[in-house]
Structure 1
Amino acid sequence: MKKVLVVLLTVAMTLSMFASCSTPEKPSESAAPASSTPAASSEVSSALAAPVADGEVTLPTKGIGTQISTEVKAKEKYTIACIVKNSTNPYMVGCLNGVEKAAADMGFEAIVMAPSTNDSVEEQVKIMEDLIQKGVDGFVLVPVDTNGIMPGVRKAMEKNIPVATIGTPAAVDTFLRTGVDYTETGRVIGKAVAEKIGGKGEVIILEGPPGAQNAQERLAGIKEAMSAFPDIKIVASQTANFKRTEGMQVAENLLQKYKTVNAIIGCNDEMAIGAVQAIKAAGLEGKVVVAGFDGNQDGSSAIKDGSLYISYNTDPFGSSYLAATYIAQFLNDGTMPQKYFTPFPSEKDNPLITGENVDDYRSNIAWWNEVK
């Protein structure tokens, strides 16, 4: 798969790129998908996916990671845009690649974008507004901020344009929220770490951005798991903003204060790798268990060499592919997701990556692998 270079474009270039993605044969009324595509009873602004009883949701896809596929085909040349937080975090690039693969498989046009200023929610909103004006048919969105993204989300919903969020949701229920259940991921990793250190000891947590709902959910899950082990003490829990450099700096400072720590949980692989670097610099290699989330390429390599104990495959590639599939279904015939929040992948998909299965993960599943 070609590398996603378009994510480096500025907002000013969005319009010209969109024009180049448009197809002359697309009916003129498709520029307003709200009124022309699905029946009124399925309008996303007034009939959000209703909760369903506990049980399996039937996904329109099969597999996870680069094995994901679908039988859904776009009935028209829809344009679906994927807008992420930045073009530097591997997770974000995985989301963009997933939508591009979905476009190739289903036959719609994909626009993949990131703010030219990393993590600028204002620029995300501007990109959305520009694309709405040009008649985009759907959005797969990784919002920088739950509340900050709302001006763009409201305008999309007014036009009945489906918005699927991944990770951080919007402040209101949109067409769909997918990606992992962050609370579940925290519980699973927290329990695994607690068991690895024998149910006792000191733990440091490197948190995500304090204003991000997904970061808060993951932190809550970790703390919930740890609460089942009365002999474990969380000695420090501090943000490092999902960034490797900050993870290293925060871990260095905390390791100077807490010299007998048994484990560090980074709430993503980037922070966890930063913690690994800090541990090595402090001469504590092999003495501190480190865990992360995402299963990214560097994290997987760290598991392979033993410096990272465990990670959770959050599969941004599969998540964005799934989101695009749901949007294509809706544009085809008004089909709504069975639930507003459809977690993917979940614990049943065996998401933990350890030294025992990392080779299989890297060879056959990893979302960062080049799609053949």
Structure 2
Amino acid sequence: MKLNSTLASATAVLALTAAGGVAADTMKIGITQNNVGVDSYQTTYEKAFIAAAEANPDIETVVLDAGGDVARQIAQMEDLIQQEVDSIIIWPTNGEAVIPAVRKAHNADIPVIVTNSNIAEQGFDFVASFSGPDNITQGSRSAEIMCDKFKASGIEDEARIVQISGQPGYTTAIERAKGFEDRLPEVCPNVTLVETQPGDWNREKSQKVMEAFLVKYDDIDGVYSGDDNMGVGALNAAKAAGRDGIIFVGATNFSVGYEAMERGEYWGSIYQSPVDDAEAALQTAVDVLSGKDVPFLNYFDTPKITQDNMGEFDKPVF
């Protein structure tokens, strides 16, 4: 079985929506993204979003990238409001800082769809829907992957781990860390999380973080990273230092993580498609503009992937 999410056919659904005449007028949808150039997930997401929009003649898009800059993203939100777009999709650079701009769009009667990483809860009243993964569940599943491997290795009562989290203040980073930290003591109560440091979704920075961990701690049994890009950075540091036997688990399986799993160097992760992510966000905006009943938290599934079951999954394209 080659796995795709239930929203993998969103492009086709978009075309059917247009053909059915639900939206007789062109829908102008603006998107402001977090930071397209920071990793291959976001680059692939943008390409998939543009392709899905181009497949529907009744959609016009304004595609913007904040480059990781909160002030730039707020300015982009204000620009989209001035353009009087029909809907705005935002991939937040910071879950709290963007709330005033989201509120401003809401007050202008422009429905806002939050994609991939949610905003802080105090901004929920200004959002039509969130489309993306359940990041707390992802963190929880990563903890289960880690614990299961410790039990199989017979070290669940003594293992020590470090965590490399994503960008501080970024909701996905916060939620994946919370899911992991809450679930780990439930399934492996004697495992010790000795330290957490941010890797900012960056492989090179994460490698440096791991280098510091390796100097500081003689005994590291496992590493949990908020995505495989950071996880492979940590793996590279361990390999360079000759530290064998460390179990690496991530969340969001990048191609580099998949390849490291094939080599037997990286144990497991969470399977998530940026194509499904992008198509789901666009479809959610279309559904909202078409007057359909859309759940506030519109999650797509992100299952566990390990060396044991990776043959059931396509290699990520990002």
**TM exceeds 0.5?**
yes
- Structure 1 CA distance, aligned partners of 2:11 and 2:289? 21
Aligned position for 1:72 = 17
Matches within 5 A, 1:1-40: none
Give the deviation of 1:66 after TM superposition.
7.7
Match for 2:72: what amino acid? E
Match for 1:180: what amino acid? P
Give the deviation of 1:243 after TM superposition.
1.5
Matches within 5 A, 1:121-132: 121-132=70-81
* C-alpha contact (below 8 Å) 1:187/1:222 kept by paired residues: yes
Aligned position for 1:269 = 228
Aligned position for 1:195 = 148
SS in 2 for 1:106: coil
Question: Which of 305, 308, 316 is the aligned partner of 2:263?
Answer: 305
* C-alpha contact (below 8 Å) 1:102/1:325 kept by paired residues: no
* C-alpha contact (below 8 Å) 1:318/1:367 kept by paired residues: no
Aligned position for 2:6 = 63
Give the deviation of 1:232 after TM superposition.
0.8
Normalized against structure 2, the TM-score is what? 0.86
Give the deviation of 1:245 after TM superposition.
1.4
Match for 1:279: what amino acid? A
Aligned position for 1:102 = 52
Give the deviation of 1:331 after TM superposition.
1.9
Match for 1:185: what amino acid? Q
Aligned position for 1:206 = 164
Match for 1:328: what amino acid? V
Give the deviation of 1:192 after TM superposition.
0.8
- Structure 1 CA distance, aligned partners of 2:36 and 2:247? 30
- Structure 2 CA distance, aligned partners of 1:355 and 1:326? 34
Instruction: Indicate the larger mover: 214-223 or 351-360.
Output: 351-360
Normalized against structure 1, the TM-score is what? 0.74
Q: Deviations over 1:262-304 (max 9, x none)?
A: 110111112101101111111024x111111112222222222
Q: Deviations over 1:174-221 (max 9, x none)?
A: 011121111111110111111102223111111122312222221111
Aligned position for 1:155 = 104
Matches within 5 A, 1:321-332: 321-332=279-290
- Structure 1 CA distance, aligned partners of 2:9 and 2:48? 8
Instruction: Indicate the larger mover: 178-187 or 132-141.
Output: 132-141
* C-alpha contact (below 8 Å) 1:300/1:362 kept by paired residues: no
Structure in which a larger fraction of residues adopt strand: 2
Give the deviation of 1:161 after TM superposition.
1.3
Match for 2:92: what amino acid? P
Aligned position for 1:32 = none
Matches within 5 A, 1:234-245: 234-245=193-204
Aligned position for 2:33 = 84
SS in 2 for 1:197: helix
Q: Are residues 146 and 367 of structure 1, via their aligned partners in 2, closer, same or farther at CA, if it must alter by over 3 Å?
A: same
- Structure 2 CA distance, aligned partners of 1:83 and 1:178? 14
Question: Which of 246, 249, 253 is the aligned partner of 1:288?
Answer: 246
- Structure 1 CA distance, aligned partners of 2:11 and 2:256? 22
- Structure 2 CA distance, aligned partners of 1:237 and 1:66? 38
- Structure 2 CA distance, aligned partners of 1:361 and 1:178? 22
- Structure 2 CA distance, aligned partners of 1:232 and 1:280? 23
- Structure 2 CA distance, aligned partners of 1:320 and 1:125? 21
* C-alpha contact (below 8 Å) 2:29/2:88 kept by paired residues: yes
Q: Are residues 358 and 101 of structure 1, via their aligned partners in 2, closer, same or farther at CA, if it must alter by over 3 Å?
A: farther
Q: CA RMSD in A?
A: 2.2
How many residue pairs get aligned? The number is: 297
- Structure 2 CA distance, aligned partners of 1:113 and 1:269? 26
Give the deviation of 1:158 after TM superposition.
1.6
* C-alpha contact (below 8 Å) 2:36/2:46 kept by paired residues: no
Q: Deviations over 1:128-185 (max 9, x none)?
A: 2112212222122110112221232122112211211123323411011121111111
Aligned position for 2:313 = 361
* C-alpha contact (below 8 Å) 2:92/2:114 kept by paired residues: yes
SS in 1 for 2:191: strand
Q: Deviations over 1:61-85 (max 9, x none)?
A: 9735588742432533212222211
SS in 1 for 2:63: strand
Aligned position for 2:184 = 226
Give the deviation of 1:231 after TM superposition.
2.2
